[in-house]
Chains A and B, each alone.
Chain A
């Protein structure tokens, strides 16, 4: 499997429900970031979690990081139709600059 793999690949939920996406990676990292891409648009930075942090919140977003399992999860609570997008995690191995992205999770929130 590739570094920065997300699962599920696609997720369809009703507005108001919670959405959980997972990401796994392979190497030691400085931090892990989650990005969102709306159809045809650029990548928007959502949240960064550093390697010494276990959980972080930002509005309706909650990110967890388990460095022992080399995995992270992104929880979007009370989802809205506007949350429909692809979500990517990105990691940079310790001491490097280049991000490695997974194939992303396509989230569809139905109104």
Chain B
């Protein structure tokens, strides 16, 4: 069974540009999460989808970040316009229904904003 996959693995863009990250969760997992780790700090929650609905987006840093999960399958996270402080690793995770289940993480997308 395929795990959580993220694309691209690494993205280098200039300040002011737009970048879109994609996450394909494990098939059948209703829950999808985005996290990020910036500047060697702790990994922080961004938001949580249940199917196509945003359940919790309390971790989204500002309105330059837009996450979607049309159809309840894969998700995209768009950063527009990107700023230097957005550099870091963006992780996606998915889990089965229920809050007690293990979240399986993807390899992450390393975003470098120059």
Contacts and interface: CB of A to CB of B under 8 A. Distances in A.
Contacts of A41: 107-108
B69 interface: no
Contacts, number: 66
A95 B56 CA distance: 13
State the main secondary structure of chain B at its contact with A: strand
A25 interface: no
Nearest to A47: B102
Contact of A42 (B31, B44, B55, B108): B108
Nearest to B3: A42
Interface of A: 2, 4, 30-31, 33, 35, 40-45, 48, 50, 88, 90, 92, 95-104
A98 B42 contact: no
Contacts of A48: 102
B99 A96 contact: yes
Contact of A92 (B99, B107, B108): B99
Contact of B48 (A4, A30, A45, A97): A97
